[in-house]
Amino acid sequence: MLKIDERHRWYPIYTKPRFEKKVAENLLKQGIEVYLPSQKILKQWSDRKKWVDEPLFKSYVFIHINYLQYDQVVRTPGVVRFIYFSGKIASVPDMEMNFLQTYLSGDFTVETTGQFIKSGDKVKIVSGKFKGYEAEMVSYQNEKRLILRIDALGQSILLNIPVADVISK
């Protein structure tokens, strides 16, 4: 007998342009766990400036579902489709989603060190909130910038973390 995988996984879904918040609200009302990463941006109008919350990834919303909920998600107004890679629905590993949520929920300061890590080196984060994550060194100009690639999206996150938390692999 074929065993069906009923585990919940994180999936990116593609929405109509500028429908990310509406889709997230509709899915939440249906009892589906949703994550919509956002950032505050200062918008300029002719008569004023205002800080607004904008999605970090345009037309993307992340959902935590099992296979039984696929149809429910696709029927939600504003949802265009699931994201596919190599003919399969793309899923984002829990570790990468946890990283994204943790990083976007806090402020991180920069430190310097005598440790020599050059651009392109693979590094491992050995302490702090991101312990266990691996990344790629992007630049070193009085600060360390590590890049974490989220392969399921074809997107990259640039982050600043304390240098003391990083070692070369």
φ, ψ (nearest 5 deg) of residue 40:
-85, 130
Give 86-144 pLDDT, tens digit per residue. 888 999 988 888 888 887 776 543 333 445 556 677 777 787 777 777 777 766 544 54
Task: Calculate what percentage of the chain has a pLDDT beyond 70.
Answer: 73
Pure H helices in the chain: 20-29, 70-74, 94-104
Give the mean model confidence (pLDDT) for residues 149-165.
62
pLDDT at 150: 52
Pick the CATH number of 9-91 from 3.40.190.10, 3.30.420.240, 3.30.70.100, 3.30.70.940: 3.30.70.940
For 51-63, give the DSSP string.
Answer: EEEEESSTTEEEE
Burial class (CB in 10 A: 0-12, 13-18, 19+), 26: middle
* Domain ranges (residues) in the chain: 9-91, 94-169
pLDDT at 139: 60
Q: What is the DSSP letter of 71?
A: H
Cα–Cα dist 65/87, whole Å? 19
Q: What is the mean pLDDT of the chain?
A: 79
Give 25-44 pLDDT, tens digit per residue. 999 999 999 999 887 778 88
Query: If DSSP codes are grouped into helix, strand and coil, which group holds residue 70?
Result: helix
Q: Looking at the structure, give the CATH architecture of the domain made up of residues 94-169.
A: Roll (2.30)
Distances (CA, A) of 152 to 59, 86, 91, 127, 162: 15, 11, 6, 25, 26
pLDDT at 104: 76
Say if 9-91 and 94-169 have the same CATH topology: no
Query: If DSSP codes are grouped into helix, strand and coil, which group holds residue 11?
Result: strand
Cα–Cα dist 38/94, whole Å? 19
83-88 contacts at long range (C-beta below 8 A, 24 or more positions apart): 83/11, 83/12, 83/13, 83/14, 83/152, 83/153, 85/152
Give yes or no for residue 162 having a pLDDT over 80.
no
Cα–Cα dist 95/97, whole Å? 6
Smallest Cα–Cα separation from 92: which of 19, 154, 147, 30?
154
pLDDT at 43: 83
